[in-house]
Structure 1
Amino acid sequence: MFIGHYGFALIVKVWEPKIPLTFLGFASQLLDWIWAILVTLQIEKVKYEIGYTKTNNLHCYSMPYSHSLLAAIIWSITLAIWHRLFSGGRNKEAALVGLVVFSHWIEDFICHKEARK
């Protein structure tokens, strides 16, 4: 799924060429960056379980600050505002940045069905 998160970022780059691709790539992975930091700090919880799903041995059983629906919305809005304020981008660009962040949650929801059981 890792590479799949970049797909929407590439589409947005075609729609709005002014947004740097590196920033869109960062936006597409923002939730995972936050998750990695919070797991390292032991704020969010993950354990290794052989055979947890067919494709993944990581059982991420507590991710309220990085991958919950509410968190994804908050991080999407936060990065959109940051982009608008500090890059001089327009509202449309900021909205697209927010959508790239939120697309990560949508893609995870679709692709990680087994983990939701």
Structure 2
Amino acid sequence: MLAGHFGIAGMVKAWRPALPMGALLVAAQLPDLLFLPLALTGVERMEPAEPGLSGYGSMWITAPFTHALVSNVVLATLVGALVHLFLRDRWGRDAGAVLAAVVFSHWLLDLVVHRPDIAVLPGGAGGLPSLGLGLWEFPLVTAVVEGLLVVAGSALYTWRTFRDTPNRGRAWAYSAGITLLLVGSLVLDLTS
């Protein structure tokens, strides 16, 4: 769902153009960015869900810290508070709330696509059942949903860029760059 998360960033950028696209892209991927070092150290991991599977849903993800519901609420709150404290004068007084929502949107999208492998409490504490609606079990449907997020993010970002950027060459360059990022990440999702 890499591309879907990026699609959300494109949609929010169209709605809130004062927010830097880089900040929105990082916010949309923050749980996965934190997952990488923990996966490299073996604290969290990905392993094949079933032999021979590839693409969507081919991995069972064990990320009880970076992807737990409570962890994501705390992470979104922390990002929102930091942006509010240090960047609200630059990005707008509700920028912290918007970026917090983008961070939490990662968890919401993952809830829809993941198998039930998402912990409620960090580290899987409390023995609560894991969450996940398992859309990855239906690769074609997942590809369509993610593709729609990419199209929406690209289209809205492009519309806003052309509306607000007087220099058409710059507008084309910005729009093409974001569209390539979104489509490239979708292709990566589809082929991995």
Paired residue type of 2:82: W
Aligned-residue offset at 1:85: 2.0
SS in 1 for 2:2: coil
What do residues 19-74 of structure 1 show as CA deviations (whole Å, max 9, x unaligned)?
Answer: 101100000000000111111122223324534676243221x3121101111111
Distance 1:51 1:110 in 2: 23
Comparing both structures, which one devotes a greater share of its residues to helix?
2
Distance 1:2 1:95 in 2: 22
Between structure 1 and structure 2, the one with the greater Rg is 2
Q: State the partner residue of 2:103.
A: 101
Q: State the partner residue of 1:21.
A: 21
Question: When the two structures are aligned, how many residues end up with a matched partner?
Answer: 116
Distance 1:43 1:9 in 2: 28
Q: State the partner residue of 1:55.
A: 56
Seen in structure 2, the aligned counterparts of structure 1 residues 91 and 53 have a Cα distance that, compared at 3 Å, is: farther
Seen in structure 2, the aligned counterparts of structure 1 residues 54 and 22 have a Cα distance that, compared at 3 Å, is: closer
Paired residue type of 1:112: H
Aligned-residue offset at 1:84: 1.5
Paired residue type of 1:32: D
Seen in structure 2, the aligned counterparts of structure 1 residues 114 and 78 have a Cα distance that, compared at 3 Å, is: closer
Q: State the partner residue of 1:41.
A: 41
| Contact 2:60-2:115 at 8 Å conserved across structures | no
Query: TM-score, structure 1 length as denominator?
Result: 0.84
Seen in structure 2, the aligned counterparts of structure 1 residues 51 and 91 have a Cα distance that, compared at 3 Å, is: farther
Distance 2:14 2:4 in 1: 17
Unpaired runs of at least 5, structure 2: 118-131, 135-192
Q: State the partner residue of 2:69.
A: 69
Overall identity of the aligned pairs, in % = 28
Distance 2:3 2:60 in 1: 20
SS in 2 for 1:3: helix
| Contact 2:18-2:92 at 8 Å conserved across structures | no
Structure 1 runs (4+) greater than 6 angstroms displaced: none
RMSD: 2.2
Query: TM-score, structure 2 length as denominator?
Result: 0.54
The answer on 1:31 being equivalent to 2:26 is no
Distance 1:22 1:87 in 2: 14
